[in-house]
A and B are shown apart, each in its own frame.
Chain A
Amino acid sequence: EAGVAQSPRYKIIEKRQSVAFWCNPISGHATLYWYQQILGQGPKLLIQFQNNGVVDDSQLPKDRFSAERLKGVDSTLKIQPAKLEDSAVYLCASSPYRGSANNYEQYFGPGTRLTVT
């Protein structure tokens, strides 16, 4: 079974530029997540989708971050404009929907390492 795919793997941009990340979840997984992981910290949830609807985006800095999952499959996360503190690894994860709000076994992609200079 193919895992979660993400691209690009690495990105270096200057502050105030924009950047986009792409994620393709495991086939059949209804739930998709984007996380930000800063060095030395645990992953921080940015946004959670159930199919193409947003379940939780309370920690997404909406003035500069946006995400979409238009057809309920792959997803993009965009940052515009980027700040130095956005340097982090952006992880995408997916999980199967098992009919219960508490089944959150997640499968992570390899991440995109973003450096903002």
Chain B
Amino acid sequence: RKEVEQDPGPFNVPEGATVAFNCTYSNSASQSFFWYRQDCRKEPKLLMSVYSSGNEDGRFTAQLNRASQYISLLIRDSKLSDSATYLCVASNRLAFGKGNQVVVIP
């Protein structure tokens, strides 16, 4: 089993709608998690840190579920500019998932 798993999608979401996706991790020793955004042919950029119970930043909400070993990212009121791949990473071994590709449709 991979350390971090993500459904690559794509997640096609109408503009203005809400989209959510999960990232599961296998190593229960991981204590912190991060979501990064990666645009096509660009480097990943930090979106949010996810400590303890979660984090919220504007239209973005991240949650951590330690019992089921997953983190989630929810994007409300999706904008065309949100189209990107969202990568999660677990602090232990710095394992990145493949990413969730989000395509916001006008």
Contacts and interface: CB of A to CB of B under 8 A. Distances in A.
Given A43-B44, A108-B44, A103 B98 contact: no
Contact of A111 (B43, B91, B93, B99): B43
A105 B50 CA distance: 10
Nearest to B87: A42
Interface residues of A, number: 22
A97 interface: no
B46 interface: yes
Which of A33, A43, A106, A107 lies at the interface centre, i.e. has the most chain B CB atoms within 10 A of its CB?
A43
B49 A105 contact: yes
Interface residues of B, number: 22
B66 interface: no
Given A42-B87, A48-B94, A105 B46 contact: yes
Given A45-B93, A108-B43, A108-B44, A103 B32 contact: yes
Given A102-B31, A105-B49, A41 B94 contact: no
Nearest to B98: A42
Given A40-B98, A42-B87, A103-B32, A109 B93 contact: no
A103 B89 CA distance: 12
A110 interface: yes
B32 A107 contact: no
B91 A104 contact: yes
A42 B87 CA distance: 7
Contacts of A104: 32, 34, 89, 91, 94
A80 to B, nearest CB: 25
Top 3 A-B pairs, shortest CB-CB distance: A42-B96, A108-B43, A102-B32
Interface of B: 4, 6, 8, 31-32, 34, 42-46, 49, 87, 89, 91, 93-99
Given A102-B31, A108-B43, 18 more contacts: A40-B98, A41-B98, A42-B87, A42-B97, A42-B99, A43-B44, A43-B96, A48-B94, A56-B93, A91-B44, A102-B32, A102-B91, A103-B32, A104-B32, A104-B91, A105-B49, A108-B45, A110-B43
